[in-house]
Each structure stands twice: as C-alpha cells, then as structure tokens.
Amino acid sequence: MTVAVAFAGMKKAVDVVFRAGCPDCRANFELGASALRLAIGATSKTTFYSFTCPECGTSVRKPAGERIVELLTGGGVRTLRLHSAG
C-alpha cells in the first residue's frame, strides 16, 4: 500500500466538525458538516452559512468570508449557489 492510498482512506474516516456559537442562548457546540448549510451569493455580503442551534432551536445565519467558505466547502458542507439577484 502506498502512502497516498493510506492517506486517502484516513481522510474519509475523519468526520469534519465545525465549532459554532449561538448568538441567542450563547451556547457553544460542535456541528458536523451535515448540520450546516452554505449559501454563496454574488458578493460577500450575500454569502452566509446557517445552522440550527441544538440548544434552543434558533436558526442562526452568519456571514461567511472567503476563508470560511473554503473551510466549509472543503469539509463537505452542502453548498447552495445563489445566482439571481433578489
């Protein structure tokens, strides 16, 4: 087995977890990629990620900068691309 193959298998086994905080109840928690949604708009102002707080159930939406977008897409978060304005 080559090192590359071993690495590929390892990569698949690791579940990516993102740290997030709720602005409503101020809880801090870790979310898997499936718990997050990323929406990419035409500009950075319309690019955001969202999740539901596991503590209080609030829908949280936060702006996503380039680094966050990279992180989330790389971690397998479902991405929605918003093409039309409005």
Smallest CA-to-CA distance from 65 within 83, 38, 35, 85 is with: 38
How far is the C-alpha of 56 from the C-alpha of 73, rounded, in Å?
Answer: 26
Two structure tokens written together for 31: 């979310």
d(CA 70, CA 53): 22
Binding mask 16-35 for Zn ion (x = CB under 5 A): ------x-xx----------
- Would you count residue 15 as binding Zn ion (CB under 5 A)? no
CB of 37 to Zn ion, least distance (A): 17
Does position 69 bind Zn ion by CB under 5 A?
A: no
- Applying CB under 5 A, the site for Zn ion has a residue count of 7
Neighbouring C-beta atoms of residue 38, cutoff 10 Å? 22
Out of 21, 55, 61, 76, point to the residue binding Zn ion (CB under 5 A).
55
Contact residues for Zn ion, defined by CB under 5 A: 22, 24-25, 53, 55-56, 58
